[in-house]
């Protein structure tokens, strides 16, 4: 089972109303390929125990007229001479330059990427580049391959193309810059590498910390396309990272709950015998904690929160005697502790700034550690500790940069290490000593990590990751390798939680579904009727209506392939799929003002790329200089384009480009998503860790905060702009999906759906302001799964 989506990370206690959790969409993923066809074949270009930091994307790489064997590090030239072998470090430098082809890579960047955790001189970079030039037969003074930029760095000016066995020889050269988005270690795990060693069999119960709960109106909503067993899909980059020597361990899954509704975020007891989870009420009202043995037996109640309250996110203490959890109600959020044997819960303290996310017990059992959004006066959002005796929060002291948001902390079984997820939509796992210090980045995913946990011996991590596909993965600390675990036969496995003293885990099996709907918003109705749009037995999502309101673009799996679809509203016979594009369902397709083209993010073997779709036919890849586009928008100038790009640390930079030569005109840092208002010519955007909405002029020079209340970062997509009017469609006022104009006094808005949260936010409104289009859940079924972890996951002693 594979899936696509954007996951929830933080939940605001003030927004909780006990409604149904956020929903992921399930579907199929036999995706159509882009005309540029090459199957990704990735090997870990490394020797166990001393792994280079960059991984190749295929066994062979063509650089202009030379061919590189990335496994043997041999460069063959077209003159037929003997191939030349280059060093490991020279190979690594080349891979970095390929990632950033056409852009200048600073010497400092090469030192950081290729020689991490060491103190080399600049000469090592010079020698590596000189060796590459010799292998390519390049001339420093008249370069055809690598250009030296004085006092700046180096630039690969030659075309580069990854080659695979079934590569199309007539396909245009594509320079995949995927390695920075792949899961790679950023250190050599050799001598001097400060890597946690596998612990002895733990003698105490480690924390089973929690993946985050996406409850109703307070969660960032999820989009998931689950792929059927018979689907054949392109390998996701994270799976490519595993390399040919990585065989997926044999993991047998089974469901231990099967009742209708939702059982969320399971936590496994230290001995692996009992699972705690949150179960939503029969009518979707509230949730309480349940306990059940790891078998298909009846669960028993652990808490009874009462009307208007929900108990969520259980976490076992290390000794297995207590369970900490979060109790939420309208306008309030509390951390509670209850004996695992039952009894009356006691309050431990308030939630962190009235919001909550996954947390963990401290090794001494005297506190919990949780992450959260940053306060307006703070530069970053570090992890914080709640002292259970005093009920006071205090930030942990460790290295964190401005703009970073740290979440999902988990202590290693021996209590020596603390790992966590850094940043929101473009996240990675980081590690530091439990006492604090400078964190080290473990992964280079820049994506949606949907929960994770330590192996019982501390030798690695199991995590759930969602890109164009979803799955569970094993990360080994010894060498930074990542291996995919088997997928489910049905549903999506997310939010894994492992037992401390038993090699087993529990997880969510998400089989939720959703579809397209529209609602009239130009009237006075407080709860206007909802109309289905383009009904199908598949999954339709992310609708974007054209400016004239006639055509709807959306993403669907109705042909058992994830595709972009177009159709005239109210005329199902006009529906057609766009061939040659595998869309990434992260943001809505974006229409041009004339309704002739769309901007869509697409998946390729080289990573996510930006495409422009001509409604009349044809798909064009836009060669944006940055390797990792996240979203895009047209402007009032046809020669200028707005693109959100990943700066490499999980933070998005909004860049204004000129089309054609792709010259950067201006940029704004720390942006979650941006949208252009064709009426007023302004650009509006949200930030990933600050509440509110910002406006910028068309040149990105004058920036002002126009809303200090909405949207919150966990609902950064739940807003839109049309005809110069801003609106919000997130939860609020007892409504899971609302419609409310922003910055307009006296505009009450409407309740679109009381129980169903808008899928992935990102609403669409026609140019006349009459109809709101959005995705809503059709069914919400989440069960608990269990699996024994095989001996193959353990590190040999």
The predicted structure's pLDDT at residue 643: 96
Is it the case that residue 40 has pLDDT exceeding 60? no
Q: What is the token pair recorded at 20?
A: 């149904």
The predicted structure's pLDDT at residue 247: 52
CA gap 14, 716 in Å, rounded: 16
Strand partners, 740: 728
> Which pairing describes strands 263-268 and 11-12: parallel, antiparallel, or unpaired?
unpaired
CA gap 602, 599 in Å, rounded: 10
| Mean pLDDT of the 404-423 span | 94
Q: Which residue has the tokens 């974006």?
A: 590
The predicted structure's pLDDT at residue 222: 36
| Mean pLDDT of the 752-756 span | 84
The predicted structure's pLDDT at residue 469: 59
- For the segment 511-550, what is each residue's pLDDT rounded down to a tens digit? 777 889 999 988 888 889 999 998 877 778 899 999 999 9
- For the segment 600-612, what is each residue's pLDDT rounded down to a tens digit? 999 887 778 899 9
| Mean pLDDT of the 33-48 span | 28
| Mean pLDDT of the 564-592 span | 91
Spatial CA neighbour of 218 closest among 430, 471, 18 = 18
- For the segment 264-291, what is each residue's pLDDT rounded down to a tens digit? 999 999 999 999 999 987 655 789 999 9
- For the segment 108-119, what is each residue's pLDDT rounded down to a tens digit? 888 888 887 566
Question: For residue 217, what pLDDT band results from cuts at 50, 70 and 90?
Answer: very low
Return phi, psi of residue 709, to 5°.
-115, -35
Is it the case that residue 195 has pLDDT exceeding 80? no
Residues 6 or more apart in contact with residue 362 via CB below 8 angstroms: 368, 369, 385, 411
The predicted structure's pLDDT at residue 146: 95
The predicted structure's pLDDT at residue 260: 78
**Computed over its alpha carbons, how large is the radius of gyration of the chain?**
25
| Mean pLDDT of the 482-497 span | 84
CA gap 586, 222 in Å, rounded: 10
Instruction: Please give the residue that has the higher pLDDT: either 296 or 313.
Output: 313
- Do you know the residue count of the chain? 797
CA gap 749, 437 in Å, rounded: 48
Is it the case that residue 39 has pLDDT exceeding 70? no
Instruction: Please give the residue that has the higher pLDDT: either 274 or 73.
Output: 274
CA gap 654, 647 in Å, rounded: 10
The predicted structure's pLDDT at residue 164: 63
Are the beta carbons of 157 and 144 closer than 8 angstroms?
yes
* Domains of the chain, first to last: 11-28+201-512+783-793 (2.120.10.30), 60-175 (1.10.10.10), 513-518+535-779 (2.120.10.30)
Element (H, E) at 684: strand 683-687
**How far, in Å, are 50, 281, 370, 470 from residue 421 at the CA level?**
25, 31, 11, 17
Is it the case that residue 745 has pLDDT exceeding 60? yes
Q: What is the token pair recorded at 137?
A: 């037969």
| Mean pLDDT of the 20-40 span | 31
- For the segment 349-390, what is each residue's pLDDT rounded down to a tens digit? 999 888 889 999 999 999 999 998 777 778 888 999 999 999
Q: Which residue has the tokens 């001393």?
A: 50
Q: End-to-end CA distance of the chain, in Å?
A: 33
Return phi, psi of residue 280, to 5°.
-75, 145
Instruction: Please give the residue that has the higher pLDDT: either 17 or 329.
Output: 329
Question: For residue 623, what pLDDT band results from cuts at 50, 70 and 90?
Answer: confident
CA gap 506, 788 in Å, rounded: 9
3-state secondary structure of 678: coil
Question: For residue 677, what pLDDT band results from cuts at 50, 70 and 90?
Answer: very high
The predicted structure's pLDDT at residue 470: 67
Residues 6 or more apart in contact with residue 733 via CB below 8 angstroms: 751
- For the segment 682-725, what is each residue's pLDDT rounded down to a tens digit? 999 998 878 899 999 999 999 999 998 888 888 888 999 888 88
Out of 405-409, 489-493, 532-536, 665-669, least confident range: 489-493
Using a pLDDT cut of 70, give the percent of the chain over it: 79
- For the segment 178-187, what is each residue's pLDDT rounded down to a tens digit? 222 222 222 2
Q: Specify the DSSP class assigned to residue 110.
A: H
């Amino acid at each position: 089972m594979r899936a696509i989506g954007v996951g929830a990370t933080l939940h605001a206690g003030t927004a909780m109303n006990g409604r149904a959790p956020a929903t992921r969409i399930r579907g199929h993923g036999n995706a159509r390929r882009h005309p540029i066809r090459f199957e990704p074949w990735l090997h870990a270009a490394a020797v166990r125990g001393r792994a280079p930091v960059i991984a190749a994307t295929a066994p062979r790489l063509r650089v202009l007229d030379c061919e590189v064997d990335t496994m043997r590090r041999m460069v063959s030239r077209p003159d037929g001479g003997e191939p030349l072998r280059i060093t490991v470090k020279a190979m690594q430098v080349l891979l970095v330059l390929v990632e950033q082809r056409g852009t200048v890579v600073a010497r400092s960047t090469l030192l950081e990427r290729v020689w991490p955790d060491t103190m080399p001189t600049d000469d090592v970079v010079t020698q590596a580049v000189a060796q590459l030039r010799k292998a390519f037969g390049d001339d420093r003074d008249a370069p055809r391959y690598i250009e030296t930029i004085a006092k700046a760095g180096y630039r690969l000016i030659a075309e580069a193309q990854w080659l695979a066995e079934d590569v199309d020889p007539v396909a245009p050269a594509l320079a995949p810059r995927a390695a920075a988005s792949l899961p790679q270690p950023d250190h050599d795990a050799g001598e001097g590498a400060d890597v946690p060693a596998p612990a002895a069999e733990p003698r105490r119960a480690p924390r089973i910390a929690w993946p985050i709960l996406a409850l109703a109106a307070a969660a960032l909503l999820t989009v998931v396309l689950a792929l059927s067993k018979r689907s054949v899909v392109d390998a996701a980059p994270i799976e490519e990272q595993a390399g040919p020597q990585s065989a997926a361990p044999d993991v047998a899954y089974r469901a231990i709950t099967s009742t209708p509704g939702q059982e969320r975020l399971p936590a496994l007891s230290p001995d692996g015998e009992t699972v705690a989870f949150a179960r939503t009420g029969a009518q979707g009202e509230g949730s309480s904690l349940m306990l059940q043995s790891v078998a298909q037996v009846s669960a028993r109640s652990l808490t009874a929160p009462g009307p208007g309250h929900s108990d969520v996110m259980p976490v076992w203490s290390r000794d297995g005697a207590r369970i900490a959890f979060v109790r939420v109600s309208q306008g309030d959020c509390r951390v509670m502790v209850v004996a695992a044997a039952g009894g009356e819960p006691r309050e431990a303290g308030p939630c962190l700034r009235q919001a909550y996310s996954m947390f963990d017990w401290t090794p001494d059992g005297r506190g919990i550690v949780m992450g959260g959004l940053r306060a307006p006066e703070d530069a970053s959002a570090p992890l914080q500790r709640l002292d259970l005796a005093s009920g006071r929060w205090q930030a942990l002291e460790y290295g964190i940069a401005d703009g970073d948001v740290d979440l999902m902390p988990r202590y290693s079984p021996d209590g020596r290490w603390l790992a966590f997820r850094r940043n929101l939509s473009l996240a990675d796992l980081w590690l530091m000593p439990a006492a604090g210090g400078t964190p080290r980045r473990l992964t280079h995913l820049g994506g949606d990590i949907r929960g994770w946990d330590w192996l019982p011996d501390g030798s690695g991590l199991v995590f759930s990751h969602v890109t164009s596909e979803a799955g569970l993965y094993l990360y080994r600390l010894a060498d930074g390798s990542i291996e995919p675990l088997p997928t489910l036969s049905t549903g999506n496995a997310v939010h894994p939680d492992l037992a401390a003293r038993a090699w087993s885990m529990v997880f969510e099996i998400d089989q939720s579904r959703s579809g397209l709907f529209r609602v009239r918003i130009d009237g006075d109705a407080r709860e206007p009727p909802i109309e289905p749009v383009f009904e199908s037995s598949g999954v339709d999502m992310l609708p974007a209506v054209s400016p004239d309101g006639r055509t709807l673009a959306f993403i669907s799996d109705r042909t058992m392939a994830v595709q972009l679809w177009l159709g005239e509203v109210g005329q199902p016979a006009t529906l057609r799929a766009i061939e040659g594009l595998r869309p990434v369902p992260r943001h809505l397709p974006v229409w041009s003002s004339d309704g002739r083209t769309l901007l869509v993010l697409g998946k390729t073997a080289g990573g996510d790329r930006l495409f422009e779709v001509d409604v009349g036919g044809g798909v064009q890849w836009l060669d944006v200089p940055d390797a990792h586009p996240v979203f895009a928008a047209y402007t009032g100038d046809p020669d200028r384009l707005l693109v959100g790009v990943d700066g490499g640390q999980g933070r998005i930079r909004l860049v204004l480009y000129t089309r054609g030569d792709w010259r950067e005109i201006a940029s704004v840092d720390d942006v979650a998503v941006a949208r252009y208002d064709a009426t007023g010519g302004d650009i509006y955007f949200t930030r990933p860790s600050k509440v509110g909405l910002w406006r910028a002029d068309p040149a990105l020079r004058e920036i002002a905060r126009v809303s200090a209340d909405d949207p919150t970062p966990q609902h950064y997509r739940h807003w839109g702009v049309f005809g110069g009017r801003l609106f919000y469609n997130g939860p609020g006022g007892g409504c899971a999906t609302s419609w409310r104009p922003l910055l307009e006094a006296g505009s009450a808005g409407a309740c679109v759906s009381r129980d169903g949260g808008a899928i992935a936010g990102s609403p669409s409104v026609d140019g006349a302001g009459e109809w709101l289009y959005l995705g809503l859940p059709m069914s919400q079924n989440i069960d608990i799964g269990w699996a024994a972890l095989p001996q193959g996951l353990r590190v040999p002693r």
